[in-house]
């Protein structure tokens, strides 16, 4: 390996920071004459973590990724990778590899040459290079296409080659910019699992950018939800989904029922659908949220007696989605509620529009969120 | 009995004639027939007045090879080699000038690019003779540039930068630069910059980044440019005639002489054939190169 081609962690900080750990502080990027694309982001990513940046398009997630890769320079703040300050380290010297959204495979090179490109640029000798490229092609099952040109590959194969081209360099961090967005649903699901297995096996830090909340839930150790250049919430998948911090996170990650509430004391709060009993300490919170799948639906004749948060209603809409059915229920006290029920009963047991039902919102399932 | 299929075939043949007819007519009348005549003339004997007369002979070709009444001379080979060399060097110069220029233009804001490109092209809209006269003014022995060159000891005193091989090189490079800029610009404008980023991401920088990511993408344009510059420069007449002088004669001037001063039509025709052969070889070689290197894209030829 050519010395100096890839910077090794150096200096006193290397003792404290693990290989592949990333620390972002106050990262800001403002494109000329515009609002900040990335606005004072502080984020710590652990070594070997699968971290997902989730957000709608234009939220700044790709810009953040490009700054970690070294394609963009932050206007403010510092990026530390494996304990090394990245301020003056150009992209080609960072031990970070990117899987591009468009794959960006070199069209004039074949699969094998594409994968070996990084090693060649780093001066890895041919026998060693071939060994590592072959091993990576074996791992990702792309050996049979080794001699093909990038243009002769299917989307899934290109995706694998792009991934192999990044992984073969054994980078400290792998950056993935919506790498699965161009694939059809079935292939995407397959590659999600494959990508995840690969990451666990190689133990590299993965930063994955996506706007697909389902993908984020499936793959990540932790998620950072971004909006308007800011991180709205960072945490383990379960926390972010179950306990969204604010309305944006709740709505972006899955379906939700959200109401403005007025505290009445004693764990009670007035909501547009009626008075709710809430298990959590209400404090200054003025918004409450419940996921549709956390709502129990009963036939009106079977509604539980003497329990909190049981409301009568009428099914207005039933959307059959295979494994589950999504109901829009008009409540007696006015307003609508979205509820999801698994279809674990015979199909004729599900509710039809017009049917009278009762819904139960268990107090511990109601979450308090910021506006 | 005409069926629908026959009618369809007839109308297709008719459309083919309508669309390709005029072009075909043009090529036959102004390219194939004159070339055929030229080919024929090369096999005639020269009369005292330079016109082709019978009997048929191969004299003109031995003249091309250097045999004359004074025995063998290498002058024709020198002229041929000089033409090849001048065309080659001039093409290289246009490449070296065009790359930075083109990448300067494509990295400007989109609204500015057409104007900048126009600046590079507009000079080629004026007559080549006029522009070459301008170079004569700039490079002649009394011009300031020549004075500077004399003072610096680059050229001997009392001589100018013109006439000579240097002046021809300058003239050719200047004249044909737009024909390199335009195809290169076309290739550079649709350059996929993500590939450049991918190169940087995979540890390439500087010259290696350029040759591994930018250069392959501009190769089809470059090959087109080489053909558009190299071939006309090889056969150029105006530039060597005005800027070259005796010691910088190129094939174009040699041929022209056979139809004017000498005159010796069969010899001139034979020289023309030789030039065509070289041009065709060049085209075939580049066509092959383009197919090999440019992948499926191919040069704009």
Q: Domain segments of chain A: what residues?
A: 12-251, 258-369
Chain B residues inside the 8 Å CB shell of A71:
197, 200-201
pLDDT for the residue A3: 42
A285-296 pLDDT, tens per residue? Answer: 789 999 999 999
Higher pLDDT, A334 or B194: B194
What letters, b where the CB count within 10 A reaches 16 and e where it falls short, cover A248-266?
bbbebbbebbbbebeeeee
CATH of the structural domain A258-369, one choice from 3.30.565.10, 2.40.50.100, 1.10.490.10, 3.30.1780.10 = 2.40.50.100
The whole-angstrom separation of Cα A208 and Cα A201 is 17
Cβ contact, residue pair B197, A117, below 8 Å: no
**Is A141's pLDDT higher than 50?**
yes
pLDDT of residue A349: 66
pLDDT tens digits, one per residue of B61-84: 877 777 777 777 777 888 888 888
CA distance A122 to chain B (A): 6
Q: Does B296 touch chain A (CB under 8 A)?
A: yes
Q: Encoding tokens for residue B252?
A: 């174009």
Q: Given this structure, which CATH class describes domain B82-266+273-293?
A: mainly alpha
Residue B246 is predicted with a pLDDT of 73
- Distances in Å between the Cα of A281 and the Cα atoms of A263, A364, B131 are 10, 11, 87
Q: What is the pLDDT of residues A39-56, one digit of tens each?
A: 999 999 999 999 999 999
A-contacting residues of B 178-197, CB under 8 Å? 192, 194-195, 197
Q: What angle do CA A97, A103, A104 make, to 5 degrees?
A: 85
- Residues A327-336 have a mean pLDDT of 87
pLDDT digits (tens, 9 = 90+) for A357-369: 999 999 999 999 9
For an interface test with B, the pick among A62, A63, A72, A117 (most B C-beta atoms closer than 10 Å) comes out as A117
Residues above pLDDT 90, as percent of chain A: 56
Between residues B163 and B296, which one has the greater pLDDT? Answer: B163
Domain boundaries, chain B: 82-266+273-293
Residue B202 in contact with partner chain A when CB distance is under 8 A: yes
Q: Which residue of B has its CA nearest to A105?
A: B195
Which chain B residues touch A69 with a CB distance below 8 Å? 197, 201
- Judged by average pLDDT, the poorest of A88-92, B46-50, B54-58 is B46-50
Q: Quick check: B49 contacting A, CB < 8 Å?
A: no
What's the whole-number mean pLDDT along residues B245-261?
81
Share of chain A above pLDDT 70, in %: 94
Least confident of A136-140, A200-204, B240-244: B240-244
As a whole number, the mean pLDDT across chain A is 88
Model confidence band, residue B3 (pLDDT cutoffs 50, 70, 90): confident
Q: Are A94 and A169 in contact (CB under 8 A)?
A: no
Tens-digit pLDDT profile for residues B11-34: 888 888 888 888 899 999 988 898
Average pLDDT over residues B192-208: 93
Which chain A residues touch B194 with a CB distance below 8 Å?
100, 102, 104
Interval B140-148 mean pLDDT: 78
Q: Return the CATH fold of A12-251.
A: Rossmann fold (3.40.50)
Contact yes or no for B171/B132 (Cβ under 8 A): yes
Considering only CB atoms, A92 lies closest to which of B192, B200, B216, namely B200
Instruction: State the DSSP code for B56.
Output: P
Query: Is A132 a residue whose pLDDT tops 90?
Result: yes
Q: What is the mean pLDDT of chain B?
A: 84
pLDDT at A15 over 60: no
User: What confidence score (pLDDT) does residue B298 get?
Assistant: 42
From its phi and psi, is residue B30 left (phi > 0), alpha (psi between -120 and 50) or beta? alpha
CB contact under 8 A, A5 and B198: no
């Amino acid at each position: 390996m050519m010395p100096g081609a890839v910077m090794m962690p150096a200096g006193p900080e290397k003792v404290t920071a693990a290989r592949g750990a990333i620390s972002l502080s106050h990262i800001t990027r403002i494109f000329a004459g515009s609002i900040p694309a990335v606005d004072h982001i502080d984020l710590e990513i652990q070594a070997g973590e699968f971290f997902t940046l989730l957000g709608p398009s234009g939220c700044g997630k790709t810009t953040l990724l490009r700054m970690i890769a070294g394609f963009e320079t932050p206007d403010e703040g510092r990026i530390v990778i494996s304990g090394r300050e990245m301020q003056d380290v150009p992209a080609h010297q960072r031990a970070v590899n990117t899987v591009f959204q468009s794959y960006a495979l070199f069209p004039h090179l074949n699969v094998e040459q594409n994968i070996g490109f990084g090693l060649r640029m780093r001066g890895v000798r041919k026998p060693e290079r071939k060994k590592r490229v072959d091993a990576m092609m074996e791992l990702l099952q792309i050996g049979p296409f080794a001699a093909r040109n990038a243009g002769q590959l299917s989307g899934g194969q290109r995706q694998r080659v792009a991934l192999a081209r990044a992984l073969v360099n054994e980078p400290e961090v792998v950056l993935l910019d919506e790498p699965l967005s161009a694939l059809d649903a079935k292939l995407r699901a397959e590659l999600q699992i494959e990508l995840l297995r690969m990451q666990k096996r190689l133990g590299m830090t993965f930063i994955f950018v996506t706007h697909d909340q389902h993908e984020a839930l499936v793959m990540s150790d932790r998620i950072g939800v971004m909006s308007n250049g800011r991180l709205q919430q960072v945490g383990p998948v379960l926390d972010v989904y179950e306990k969204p911090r604010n309305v944006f996170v709740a709505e972006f990650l899955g379906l939700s029922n959200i109401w403005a509430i007025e505290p009445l004391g004693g764990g009670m709060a007035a909501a547009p659908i009626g008075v709710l009993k809430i298990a959590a300490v209400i404090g200054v919170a003025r918004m409450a949220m419940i996921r549709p799948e956390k709502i129990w639906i009963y036939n009106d004749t079977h509604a539980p007696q003497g329990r909190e948060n049981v409301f009568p209603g009428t099914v207005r809409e039933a959307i059959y989605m295979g494994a589950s059915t999504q109901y829009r229920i008009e409540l007696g006290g006015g307003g609508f509620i979205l509820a999801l029920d698994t279809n674990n009963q015979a199909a004729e047991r599900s509710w039809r529009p017009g049917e009278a039902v009762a819904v139960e919102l268990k107090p511990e399932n109601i979450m308090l969120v910021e506006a | 009995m005409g069926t629908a299929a026959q009618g369809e075939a007839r109308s297709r043949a008719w459309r083919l004639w309508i669309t390709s007819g005029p072009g075909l007519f043009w090529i036959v009348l102004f390219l194939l027939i004159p070339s055929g005549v030229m080919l024929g003339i090369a096999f005639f004997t020269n009369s005292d007045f330079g016109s082709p007369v019978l009997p048929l002979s191969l004299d003109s070709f031995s003249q091309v090879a250097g045999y004359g009444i004074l025995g063998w001379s290498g002058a024709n080979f020198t002229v041929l080699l000089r033409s090849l060399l001048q065309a080659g060097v001039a093409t290289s110069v246009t490449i070296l000038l065009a790359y930075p220029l083109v990448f300067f233009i494509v990295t400007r804001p989109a609204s500015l690019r057409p104007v900048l490109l126009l600046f590079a092209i507009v000079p080629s809209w004026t007559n080549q003779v006029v522009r070459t006269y301008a170079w004569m003014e700039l490079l002649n022995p009394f011009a300031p540039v020549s004075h500077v060159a004399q003072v610096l000891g680059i050229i001997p005193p009392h001589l100018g930068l013109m006439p000579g091989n240097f002046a021809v090189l300058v003239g050719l490079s200047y004249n044909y630069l737009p024909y390199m800029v335009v195809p290169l610009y076309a290739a550079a404008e649709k350059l996929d910059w993500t590939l450049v980023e991918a190169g940087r991401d995979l540890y390439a920088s500087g010259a290696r980044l350029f040759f591994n990511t930018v250069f392959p993408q501009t190769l089809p344009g470059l090959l087109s440019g080489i053909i558009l510059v190299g071939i006309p420069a090889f056969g150029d007449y105006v530039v060597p005639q005005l800027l070259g002088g005796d010691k910088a004669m190129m094939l174009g001037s040699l041929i022209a002489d056979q139809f004017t001063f000498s005159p010796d039509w069969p010899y001139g025709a034979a020289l023309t054939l030789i030039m065509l052969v070289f041009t065709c070889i060049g085209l075939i070689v580049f066509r092959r190169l383009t197919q090999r290197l440019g992948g499926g894209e191919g040069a704009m030829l």
